[in-house]
Every structure is written in C-alpha cells, then in structure tokens.
Amino acid sequence: MRNVEIKAKIANLKNLLANISKICDKEPENISQHDVFYEVPAGRLKLRRFKEGDAELIFYDRPDCKGPKLSDFEKCYLPFEQVDGMNKVLTKAFGVRTEVVKNRQLFMVGQTRVHVDKVENLGDFVELEVVLNNEQSIEDGQEIANDIMKKLGIEEENLLATAYADLLKK
C-alpha cells in the first residue's frame, strides 16, 4: 500500500480546525492510540493499540524529509486476544525503541486522511495521508497534499521530516 504524507507542527489549532471544517463534510472520528515502536534495521515497525483493545501491526518505510513524501506500508489487524502476545514476541526479538501516546481526530477530505494529533510530551500536530490508488503516481499524491496544505494554511516552516517516535527520542 502507498500514500503520500506530510506532518507539521500546528501553529494555530483554532484556525486549522476552522479551515478543515470548510473542506470536510463529516464530523471527525476520535481515536486514542498507543504506538510501540520496535528497533528494526530498516523502516519503522509499530504495534498500534486502540482504546477498544484491538491493534494493528504496521511496517512502513519513507524518507525523512520535509514536505509530501511517499510512504510504503503494510499493516495487519490483531484482535484483542493476540495483542499482548505479539508485543512480547516483538519486544524479545527487536527491543522497544520508544512509545507514542496520542489522541487523534480523523477527518476525511476525499482520498486524504487528515489527522489532528495531540501527542503526549510533544504537543499538537497535523498529518495528511493521501491514499494512492494503483493508477496514481507519487506526483499526483504530492499535488493533492500541496493543495490541502494550502487550504488548511499549513506553512512550510512548520513541516517536520521525522516521525513522532523520532521527536520523542531527541
């Protein structure tokens, strides 16, 4: 699976939410997430736990650069009964790199997932994930991301190159 994504520090949460409301038709979905990142030799591997107890195991690889970038990822759903066991196996095999706890508001704008995240010990952020279909190029996704960034008032100086896990490790 592929998407083009950006991440940025939120300069003004009130303005961002007002801008999102202009381009999004539905109310956001509120999601509590607890991500455990493992020490892996390439890419990033995380176990994402949800409040309900279920989880997703997600591997993704993307460059650490500012602006719209391609993220190649695979994910697998884990029912509640398997989550603790999977965490034990992955911790033993790789070790834990860090943990990220966040509350996310998920808005949909066409094929783009707009996340407004409150990350423990970091602050407020916005992520765009333009989910690409098989016919779309990286450039198509970058164009969509740039357009939404403009509509939301996301400034280039607020763009981040790395994941929340990397920011917490600093």
Q: Is the pLDDT of residue 25 over 90?
A: no
Q: Which domain, by its residues, includes 145?
A: 2-169
Confidence of residue 107 (pLDDT cuts 50, 70, 90): very high
Block residue for tokens 């202009």 = 22
The pLDDT of residue 52: 84
Q: What is the pLDDT of residues 118-159, one digit of tens each?
A: 999 999 999 999 999 999 999 999 999 999 999 999 999 999
- Separation CA 11–CA 64 (nearest Å): 21
Q: Is the pLDDT of residue 104 over 90?
A: yes
Give DSSP secondary structure letters for 142-167.
Answer: HHHHHHHHHHHT--GGGEESS-HHHH
The pLDDT of residue 81: 95
Cβ-proximal residues to 97 (8 Å cutoff; 6+ apart), any chain: 37, 38, 39, 165, 169
Q: Is the pLDDT of residue 71 over 80?
A: yes
Q: Give the tokens for residue 40.
A: 């892996």
Report the 10 Å Cβ neighbour count for 137. 11
Residue 54 DSSP code: -
Rounded to 10 deg, the angle between the 138-152 and 13-23 helix axes is 120
The pLDDT of residue 105: 98
Q: pTM for this structure?
A: 0.92
Cβ-proximal residues to 82 (8 Å cutoff; 6+ apart), any chain: 55
Domain count, the chain: 1
The helix (run of H) or strand (run of E) holding residue 86 is helix 80-94
Coil/strand/helix, residue 135: coil
What is the CATH number for 111? 2.40.320.10
Confidence of residue 169 (pLDDT cuts 50, 70, 90): confident
Task: Report which residue type is found at 41.
Answer: P
The pLDDT of residue 13: 97
